[in-house]
Structures are given as C-alpha cells and as structure tokens.
Chain A
Amino acid sequence: MLAAIRSATLVGVWGHPVSVEVHVASGLPAFTVVGLPDASCREARDRVRAAIASTGLEWPMRRITVNLAPGDLPKAGTGLDLAIATGVLAASGQLGDAPVERFGVIGELGLDGSARPVPGVLPLVDAVGGGEVVVAAADYPVARLVAADRVRPVATLRELCDALTEAAPWPDPPPITPAPPPVPEPDLADLSGQPFARWALEVAAAGAHHLLLVGPPGAGKTMLARRLVGLLPDLDPDAALEVTRVHSAAGLALPSGGLVTRPPFRAPHHSASMASLIGGGSGRVRPGEASAATGGVLFLDELGEFAPSVLDALRQPLEEGVVRVARAQGVVEHPARFLLVAAMNPCPCGMGGEIGCRCSPSALARYQRRLSGPFVDRLDMVVHVDRPEPTDLLGGRAAAGTAEVADRVARVRALARSRGVAHNSGLDGPVLQQHAPLEPPAQEVLRAALAEGRLSARGLRRVRAVARTVRDLDDAGPELRVTDVMAALSLRARRDSFGGRIRG
C-alpha cells in the first residue's frame, strides 16, 4: 500500500515542497526513512510511532519505507512528523478512502499525539501550494497569513484522523488573541540636549541612511540608536510578510497576531560570528541577524570590537539588500534590507583624547584600521556625540518626542514612495537623476569633492540620496541646494572621522 502526503521543508528562509511517500509492505517489521533526512528528521520515526500508539491507532507491524522526495534535497527539522504519521495511517488503510492527497500537512508530533508548531511555518505553508493545509493549532495565526481560509489547524493527531475520515468536522480555528498593546518603544523625548545627533537620527530614519555614532562611553550612543526604530513607520503589507517569513524561518518569537508589523530591531553582540550575522550554519542554512533585521534596524554596538572579516561580510547586504550564502549544494539567498546603525568609541579606552585617554597613537591607528575603507564607504553618516553638558541639557529647547519626529519621517517616506522607492536611500541611477536634480553651485561642490578624491562613485550616489532626505525634511523643494549637498557631504566619513588625533 502506498500513500503520498504533501509537505515542505526549509531551505534558508524559503520553503521547498516535499512529497512524503509511505510504502507499507509485507516483510519483517521495519521503519526506514530515506531521502536525506537530518538527525532531527530521522528521529521522526520514534515520535511518529509513539504518537500513533498514544492516539489509540494501530502501528502496522510490517515493513514501512518512508521516502522524502525529492530525494537529493536535504530535509531538516521536525515539520514532516505529521505528514509521515498521516502517510503511515493512510498506507496501512486506517484512514479508509480519505482524500489525503488534497491536503498539505505540516507539524511536529509529541509522543502523546499532540501536534506542535514548527519554525518557518509561513514559508512552509507557502511552499506546499494550493489546497488545504493542515498545521498545528499553535501555528494557525502565522499560517493563515499566506493561506487564509485554506488552513486546517489541528491540536492532535486524533483530530486530524477524525476530520480526514469525516468522523468529526474540522476543529474550529483557535481564536486569534488580539495583539497586546505594543510595548512602548523608548521615546526620543527622554533625551535632552544633543540636537545635532537627534537631527542626524531623523535623517537616518527618514531616508534609511546608514549611521555610525562615535563617542565616549556615556555619550548616549546606544540610547539614540534604540530610539531610531521608534521613528520608523509600520511595515507595509509586503514588507511585513517578508519580515514574518524570515522571523518564522529563523525561529524567532512572532507576535500573537502572527504578522510582524513593526520594524525589527536586532542588536547582535560584538562577538558575533560570520554565520550568526550573515546566516549559515551546518546543515540547513539559517538566516543570520542581518536577515532578521530586514525591514528594520541592525544595531552594531561597539563596532570596533567586531571581527573585521565579519564587518566586511556585511558589504554585500549593505549594497544589495540580500545575503547570498553559497554552499557546495547551491546558493541560498536571504533578504537583508536593514538600516545599519553602529556605535563605536573613538579609541580603545573610549576617551578619545579626553582626560584619562591612555591610548598611544599606534593603538589608536590600529583601532581605526579595524574598519576597512570599503565598509566605511558604505556608511552614509558619521556623527560624533559627546556627553551633554549640564548647561546644554537645561538650555536646550524642549525636545521633540518620538511621535512628532515619526510624523516627519513618515512624510519623507511618503515622498520617497511617490518616487517609486521605499526610502530615499533606494534612489539610484536615472531615478536619482530625476528626483534629486542639483542646483549648479551644488553640482560644483560635488565636482570639487570628486576631484579631491573624497568621494567614490558610490559615495556620490549616497551623498545625493542623503541630500535629498535633508531637503525633504526641510521644505521638500525639487532641487538640491548647495547647503543640502554640503550637509550630506560633511556627514560622510572622512579619513579623520574616528576620533583620531594622529598627526606628526
């Protein structure tokens, strides 16, 4: 007897359809799984056997062969448990003539026969294709995002069998718990003083320009960075689905409504390995922090402490918005459209030449060399922050709160959408030419900067995009004025940008 159940496995953040073929034949009792299962997948045998027994169904004492097709694609994870169990029951005739081929089945099994959620259910359901899809009840909120009313949530293997044999109707979907009121993101109004850094933050948020904050410990770099994500607008539906897909595949906690609607904020520790930041790992290629931050903010605190090779690996995502992890088996592409916010001290001791700085010029030079030129070239803005002076704190104008700044950011993002891009940093080529024309003096400033070798071609494009955002935040006039271009230009990293007083 043969049965084939549709299911899916994860390849990176994408699902790949898998056909679970179960053959039950006479012979010595045996249970083999073939088709490149990984360890967690091979263990399905024991879970499935116990789950079928606990459910009160019969384990066929015959020769059972499970093939996971296509046979050359490595299968990872536990999401095939439910499909294997369904296949065994169908092939041993315990489901009668139930139309099992109509259903895609995704879920892990407990020994008691309960259906458990699996990471990556969103891309998996997507990959299974048309028809109804059976998932664990706990996966319902996420699965419905791509399959809507085709999702059949079940809590146990018993519920699934009863529904397939029409002994009982499909169970009602569990109620979607409304999203709890969002945890208030830290508000910009908490910060006093630092008007320039706040403005730079606003520019970064409005145009999605990569930002590096440099300053001594206690200058508020991390406070500023954490407030950036609050300035970003909600994710649009496409972006929300993409972020949810990545988070689902990465096994990150999803909101109770299933859909990630707020831009994520990811802050990996500076000991992060290449695989954890970019993606990879043995066996299945997992999305890294760069992908988890897609649509949101990737915050690298203590940038100077990251391994230089890890930082340089960020060059591709910074440029293209994707990470391509190449393996002997093939290339996996993950989205990685993040806004990079980094923070670093001006020198190893953090004081940057202030009282108590103990760094020798050579130590300083070594520290600054940790950032490669090509990496620095991809940073749009370098902003120096210092501990605010008490007088600055008291004398500053009342600081605008997150809500007020977020309004302005949303306005600029709307302008960008009218230009056909999500944000100004996406402007490129003819679109940039069309939407960021230069007044003659502004052109002159850029020509001089190019002639001096201060700007690369990439730098030129980025300066224009930042200048576009500066103008958008001001009065959104059509042409870039010389002041906009100069502001964008001086926000860019210079050779001496990182604290350095290294001169003979």
Chain B
Amino acid sequence: MTDRGVHAAALASLPRAGARRLHRLLAGRDPAQVWDAVGRGLIPAQCGDEDLRASWRRHAAVFDLDGLASALDRLDAWVTTPLDAAHPARLTDDIDPAPVIFRRGSLPAPAGPTAAIVGTRRCSPTGRSFSAELGAGLAAAGVSVVSGLALGVDGAAHRGALSAAGAPPVGVVGSGLDVVYPRGNADLWEAVATAGGLITEAPLGAEPEAWRFPARNRLLAALADVVVVVESKEAGGSMHTVEQAIRRGVTVMAVPGSVRNPAAAGANRLISEGCPPACSVADVLVALGFAAEARPADPSVPPADPDLPASAGPAPLGRGVAPASSGSASASAGPALVPAALSELQRRVLDAVDDEPVTLDRLVVRVGAAPPEVLVAADVLVTQGLLDRDGGKLVRAGP
C-alpha cells in the first residue's frame, strides 16, 4: 500500500460510495487488496445492487491511480482507513463510522481534548467576536478547536484559535480537499491545514453539495469532547450537529444571547432545554474536566478577531461576555471602554445601543435628540470602534 493511501482514496471516489458502503466494502481489509478485488469484480453483494457493482468494476478498470496519487501529492493530502494507526479512533469506533478520510496537515488525529465550536454563518458581530474569543481561549488552554471552516461563527472560532497559537485547530469540511469552500475563507483553510489539520470524507474534486454537510456535522460531533453552539437559528446546520452530538453522548453547551437577537434563538432554546450555558472560556474548560487551577495562567488572550478593532485593555478570560444580558452589558462595560473625549450626546447614544442591532430610528427615539445629531454621533462612535455597523443597524463593537 502506498504511503498516501491512494487505494483508499480511489475506493472513496467510486460512484455512490458513501460511508456505509465503504465500511461494508472494506470490512477491515487492506484497501489495496480491496481495490484489486473491485477491479476483478469481486464485490460483496451487500455493497449494492448488480448495476452499482458493475459500474464500480468498470470505474476501477479505467481508474487513473497514478493521477490520483500525484493529485494527493500536490495537495500534500493523505488518506487513512481504520487499519492505519493515524486513523482517529473516534471515527473508527463511532456509531456511524467513517471508513475513509481525506486529510491535510501534520496532525495525526486530534490529540488531547477537543471542543467543536459551531454556529450560524450569519452571526452578529457579538457572536463573531465571542466565537473568536472562545477559539483563542480554548486553544491557549490546550484544547483543539474543531470547526467547519464556514463563514460566520465557524471561521471566527478558527481565526481565534490560530491567533492564540495554542493547541492545533482541526477543520472538518464538506467538500473535497482541493475544492476550497467557502472561497472567502481560502486563507483560513490554508492556515488551519498548516497549523493543525483538515479532515473530510469527500473525495478529491467533490463539490460542497448540500447532502455532504450533515455527514460533515456527524464527523464534527464524533471528533468533539464538547460541542459549543455560539449563535444558531432555531433550525440549521448547527442544530444538526447538536443532534449528532446528543446521539453520541457528547456534552452540548450553548452561548446565551439576547432574546432579541434572532441569530441566538437556537442557542437560547438549547439552554432552555437543559444545555449548560457557555458564558466564558472557563465554562467550557470546566465542562471538559479541567480543574479550576488548571486554567491557563495567562489571563490576557490577544485580540482574537483581526477584523474587529482591539478593545481598550486586555479581555480577561471568563468575563461575562456580552450576549448574556444586554442591559447590564451596556451599563458595566460602557464606562471602562469609553474614552473621556466623548461628548455627552455621544455617550448617550453609546448607552442606548446594546448587543441587539438597533436601527437609527430606534436610536433617535431612545436618545431623544434630533435625527442628524444622532446620525453623526453614531458615525463618530463607529469611527472610534465603539459601535459596529450591522447592515443598516448599529451594534456595540465586540471586545
């Protein structure tokens, strides 16, 4: 067998070769032998009907193994099956095992504790910054951050983890390793592959089709010691990951959000259904079984999200972070952050914005000043990095 696992890769590239069929096909055998057998038409009947078996045989007869091997070489990707020592045991022993995985990066398998951080692609600025904060804090504490490299929460978690340069991050993706998706996260894709690893079941060239994501979510759940939902709508991919985690008995935590933040509705419902809330990095560490003393000594996590302006001063770990309560957040966080130079009106405008995105209309009502004055005050606050624009609305800038 070649060192990159080209036979396993070829088997996974067969038409309609899903995880279950591959599992039955491999049945603990060496992929090279199995590939040989497929070429000779010796395919177990439980793998599929006659047509499928015939098509596999035809496929194998003309398959360009060398081309695949060089493609794997170019990507620096490799493929493992349960026979390989490097195949994550969690995926072998899973209730829904993954018989063939494609991977990039040096990481043999997530060693040590892992935490999956999942959430909506369309998160609020608060969700984004908290996700990055979680990613950074967990990585610094030696927890591998597992996430989906999607836009929004997933990407922010990985960016946070990378910024902390702690435990290696793991990206579990739904497309082939040579199909970067989403394109906007191409830089992140490379960075995670370099610093940690990428894992997927999809063969090379597989497009990110919708049906691949539920399978991806199951890998996420299988690889995680704890799943943290940062922001999720009531229905969505994150909720599917949660279901998969529950099936496997993996702890699910949710980050509480403002009741007015639609992106947090799913996470809030999880809490009301009994999920422990994740209000800080420390909460997640405790759930992972870290003793209180074992928390990382360094309290200052670097500003996690390069997209967001740095806040004034270090963000202490475990600080009750914004989504918890909008009212107290603006009251307590406000004075510490506000430079003295703010005018009285600007201060009033700042106080009137909480974590829930607010329109200028509402802001004018709350502040009670003339619309153009409020408009300009809000503009100044955005320039100073105290407020963020969210579409047409304003929201408090993340820490």
Contact = CB atoms under 8 A, between A and B. Distances in A.
Interface stretch (B58-66, B276-284, B318-326, B370-378): B370-378
Contacts of B363: 196
A196 B361 contact: yes
Contact of A490 (B151, B155, B375): B375
A354 interface: yes
Interface in B364-394: 364-365, 370-376, 378-380, 389-393
A483 B377 CA distance: 9
Contacts of A353: 122, 262-263, 391
Nearest to B359: A386
Contact of B392 (A360, A384, A502, A503): A384
Contacts of B184: 504
Max chain A CB contacts within 10 Å: which of B121, B122, B151, B263? Answer: B122
A389 B363 CA distance: 12
A498 B361 contact: no
Contact of B265 (A355, A361, A388): A355
Interface in A466-501: 470, 474, 483-484, 486-487, 489-491, 494, 496-501
B195 interface: no
A274 B370 CA distance: 41
Interface in B250-287: 262-263, 265
A194 interface: yes
B233 interface: yes
Contacts of A195: 361, 364-365, 371
Contact of B391 (A384, A489, A490): A384
Contacts of B106: none
Contacts of A490: 375-376, 378-379
B365 A392 contact: yes
A317 interface: no
A395 interface: yes
A383 B372 CA distance: 12
A112 B234 CA distance: 72
A354 B360 CA distance: 17
Contact of A500 (B121, B182, B391): B391
Contacts of A487: 372, 375-376, 379
A491 B182 contact: no
Nearest to A354: B262
B307 interface: yes
A214 interface: yes
A386 B361 CA distance: 8
For chain B, give the interface size range.
35 or more
Interface in A114-130: none
A196 B364 contact: yes
B33 interface: no
A499 B389 CA distance: 10
A214 B390 CA distance: 13
Max chain A CB contacts within 10 Å: which of B182, B233, B361, B393? Answer: B361
B40 interface: no
A196 B151 contact: no
A504 B185 contact: yes
Given A346-B391, A353-B262, A504-B188, A361 B364 contact: no
Contact of B361 (A360, A385, A504): A385
Contacts of A395: 365
B182 A498 contact: no
Interface string B293-328: 000000000000001000000000000000000000
Given A352-B391, A384-B359, A388-B361, A357 B262 contact: yes
A335 interface: no
Max chain B CB contacts within 10 Å: which of A196, A474, A484? Answer: A196
A194 B389 CA distance: 19
Given A501-B390, A504-B184, A491 B375 contact: yes
Max chain B CB contacts within 10 Å: which of A356, A382, A504? Answer: A504
Contact of B372 (A194, A357, A360, A483): A483
Interface in A325-376: 346, 352-357, 360-361
B16 interface: no
A37 interface: no
Contacts of A503: 128, 151-152, 307
Max chain A CB contacts within 10 Å: which of B185, B376, B392? Answer: B392
Contacts of B379: 486-487, 489-490
B391 A501 contact: yes
Interface string B117-151: 00001111000100000000000000000000001
B362 A499 contact: no
A213 B374 CA distance: 18
Interface in B29-86: none
B362 A483 contact: no
A474 B376 CA distance: 14
B371 A196 contact: yes
Nearest to B365: A392
Contacts of B151: 361, 502-504
A504 B122 contact: no
Contacts of B375: 196, 486-487, 490-491
Contacts of A382: 392
B361 A470 contact: no
Nearest to A486: B376
Contact of A474 (B155, B263, B372): B372
A105 B196 CA distance: 89
A498 B362 contact: no
A197 interface: yes
A396 interface: yes
Nearest to A490: B379
Interface of A: 193-200, 214-215, 346, 352-357, 360-361, 382-386, 388-389, 392, 395-396, 470, 474, 483-484, 486-487, 489-491, 494, 496-504
13 contacts: A196-B371, A198-B371, A199-B364, A346-B391, A353-B263, A355-B262, A384-B392, A486-B376, A486-B380, A487-B376, A497-B392, A504-B151, A504-B184
5 smallest CB-CB distances across A and B, nearest first, come from: A384-B392, A199-B371, A355-B262, A504-B184, A196-B360
